Amino acid sequence: MQDILAPQAPQQKIKPIAKKKSRLLYISLGLLILFLVVFGTYIVTKSFLVRDDSSEKKSDSNNVVTEEEKEDGEFVYVSSKSGLNLRADSSTQSDIVWTLPYRAKVKVENKNNDSSWYKTTYENISGWFKKEFTEIDEPQDNTADWGSVSKKGELPFSLKYPDDWKVKTIETEQNSFSIVSPADSRSLVTIEILTVAEDQVASALVGEGKNIGGQTLFSLNGNKGKKYVIQTVVNNKVVYTEDVIIIEKNGKVIKVTGPADGETSGDVFNELVWKITF
């Protein structure tokens, strides 16, 4: 006898809804993790790039400072009001190749064994000068309160001079004039623009009672020339000394005359010379 089975309801297929939701959740979590990893990598990379860029800029800045420091080097200022001779070698017996102007800032390129002579290049001319006539700090400008005068013409020029000095025109040349110190009638400074040759002007400096006590190469605002020390002699005795600067420019000869070192207002003349511009 067979067992009689009770009738069963037909089986229904179970839809994998839970599995799909689970899969979507895993995928979402995976994408989120991937996004976070990518975003985190981007932030970290950017941070390193910014840091590197900042370091490079800082390094470049340090390099610039270093290069500027190297470029600056060691400098001194000319303290001699009459200018400072630049010589071919570190000796007073060596030829004078240039005159460094008062208060000029010059770079120290080399030194002799005892550091009493310095080498420099000024106006594209190299030479040696005595350290004792220089200072580390720039000398004070004593001409700040001086007056000024300008002359127009074929070769215009201007200069500064003490306010209490008198100015007058020289009759010999249209462009020329002189300034006189009230303290001493011999403290005469003249500026003449001449049309004669430079050697003729120089030869005329010597005459009866006039001797050339010395001469040096000279530069006035980049204009090359010579400075002569002219001695006035009476009974074989030097009674007065003046400096005469002769420079040629644009076919004209510029002659500047004034009291030499040691004479009344000689120091004023020395400073005045560096204030003349052509």
Clarify whether residues 167 and 268 are in a common domain.
Answer: yes
Q: Alpha helix locations (H) across 130-252?
A: 198-203
What pTM value is reported for the model? Answer: 0.70
Residue 48, pLDDT > 70, answer: no
Say if 82 falls within a structural domain.
yes
CB contact burial 60-81 (16+ within 10 A = b; e otherwise): eeeeeeeeeeeeeeeebbbbbb
Clarify whether residues 199 and 223 are in a common domain.
Answer: yes
46 or 33: whose pLDDT is higher?
Answer: 33
Say if 185 falls within a structural domain.
yes
CA 276/CA 137 separation, integer angstroms: 23
Residue 229, pLDDT > 70, answer: yes
Angle at 24 between CA 23 and CA 27, to 5 degrees: 90
Average pLDDT over residues 258-276: 92
Clarify whether residues 165 and 251 are in a common domain.
Answer: yes
CA 200/CA 89 separation, integer angstroms: 31
Tell me the CATH number at 186. 3.40.1000.10
* Number of domains comprising the chain: 2
Clarify whether residues 161 and 183 are in a common domain.
Answer: yes
Clarify whether residues 167 and 112 are in a common domain.
Answer: no
Highest mean pLDDT among 22-36, 147-161, 225-239: 225-239
Say if 27 falls within a structural domain.
no
Q: What are phi and psi of 57, to 5 degrees?
A: -65, -40
Average pLDDT over residues 26-37: 71
Residue 154, pLDDT > 70, answer: yes
Predicted confidence at residue 49, as pLDDT, reads 57
Clarify whether residues 207 and 234 are in a common domain.
Answer: yes
Per-residue pLDDT of 91-114, as tens digits, reads: 999 999 999 999 999 999 999 999
* Containing structural domain, residue 88: 75-135
Average pLDDT over residues 70-83: 88
Residue 4, pLDDT > 50, answer: no
